[in-house]
Structures are given as structure tokens and as C-alpha cells.
Chains A and B, each alone.
Chain A
């Protein structure tokens, strides 16, 4: 299944580095999301984009900067991260608010981020 693809799958970065995570969906969906998954914690919603417009920012620190150039692509720009930011970052998409089935979220395989 390659509906939502993420790159890179693994990333190690220093605290002073700048890197980006990329997500692409091939499902024709209108909404895209970034989630953070840490050990022994619920999935944390970070950002939501609907029709390229950011509709939700769950109090995410500014060292995480999302970008959504179109409905198929989503980026997460990373700079001056902290070791506690090490986690699995999952991109997801859904049909969007205009469909009742818009509740169904489809996840990418995730990007494992390690901050050293």
C-alpha cells in the first residue's frame, strides 16, 4: 500500500541542524496531518491542513514548521530540535470535512527522528 509515502524513513540530526520531513499522498484526499508518536504515549496531533490551509496547530513549538504547498504534499521543517523531540513522526491524510467518511485517516509509514 503506497497511498501515503514519507521520506526519509530514518533521520538523525544534531540540535543545530535544519532538516525537513516530506509526505505525499496519492489518494486524492483534501486533508493532511502530522502526528507525533512517542513511546508509551497516545498519538499526538500536531498540525492539520484542509485544502492547503492550516486549520489546527496543537500548541506545537515553533521549532516545528509545517508547509503544505498543495493538497498532495506536506512538509515538516525542523530546526534547533531537542533530544526529547526524538520520536516517530507520522503523516496522514483523509478525504476531508466534506465527506462523512472524512473521519477515516490513512497513515504513512512514518519518519523515525533521532535528535542527538
Chain B
């Protein structure tokens, strides 16, 4: 089955700096890569996703890049703000089926004011 590795497990950045979280996946058939943000005591929420037919996607301060050859994808947050502090999860799946979504172990991002 799919295996998703996520690094780092914790990340601290100064407000205004950029943050990068990286994930690798094992199944070359995976074609959908969402990122979820989970604030303390709240539900994981989808913040951005990318499909295998594109290499990069941006949404304001958030971007995701995908390297299918190397089987890794990354989340980039620019101009970080304290409200970006949360746990971020990457995930990967294929076959158009959410039931095969495999999550990474999460990254605790702390943005220091």
C-alpha cells in the first residue's frame, strides 16, 4: 500500500518568514495530494490540493509543488502569521477514491511573533 513520509515533525519560524513542509510517497500511481490544517482542538480542514497533471498550485500565501519523478510534494507558506500555527497533514491517494487517502504523520508549525 501507499506510505507517506512527512518532514519535519515540528517547525518554528519567525512571523513573516516562509515555512516549507515536505512529503514523500511510495505509490507511483498516486495522483491526488491534499494538505490539511488542524488547529488546536479543531477538525482537520483542507487548505489546498494538487493533482498529478500539474506541478504547482498557488492560493494566496500558500503553494504546493509536486515532483512526480521524485515522488515528493511540498507545502510552502509565505509571509507566515501567528494564525498559521497549527498541525499540517499531507496525504496521497489514487484511483479517484478517498478511501485510499494515506496521511503523513503531521507537522506542528509554530509561528513566533
Chain A contacts to B: CB under 8 angstroms: 4, 31, 33, 40-43, 45, 48, 50, 55-56, 90, 94, 97, 99-100, 102-110
Query: Total A-B residue pairs with C-beta atoms closer than 8 Å?
Result: 60
Shortest C-beta distance, A32 to chain B (Å), equals 10
Chain A proximity mask over B85-101: 1 for CB below 8 Å, otherwise 0: 00001000100111101
Shortest Cβ distance from residue B43 to the other chain A in the assembled complex, whole angstroms: 4
Are A41 and B105 closer than 8 Å at their CB atoms?
yes
Greatest chain A CB density within 10 A among B34, B98, B103 is at B98
Would A103 and B98 count as touching, CB distance under 8 A?
Answer: yes
Which one of B4, B45, B97 lies within 8 Å of A107 (CB-CB)? B45
Known: A40-B105, A100-B96, A109-B42. 14 other contacts (CB 8 A): A31-B99, A42-B103, A50-B99, A90-B44, A97-B96, A97-B99, A102-B96, A102-B98, A103-B32, A103-B97, A103-B101, A104-B34, A105-B98, A109-B43
Partner of B44, one of A43, A45, A55, A99: A43
Return A27 CB to nearest CB of chain B, in Å: 13
Whether B105 and A105, one on each chain, are in contact in the complex, defined by CB atoms closer than 8 angstroms, is: no
Most buried by B among A31, A102, A103: A103
Contact of A104 among B4, B43, B46 (CB under 8 A): B46
Q: Which of B96, B97, B99, B105 contacts A42 (CB 8 A)?
A: B105
A103 near B93 with CB under 8 A, answer: yes
CA distance A108 to B42 in the complex (A): 9
B6 and chain A: residue at smallest CB distance:
A42
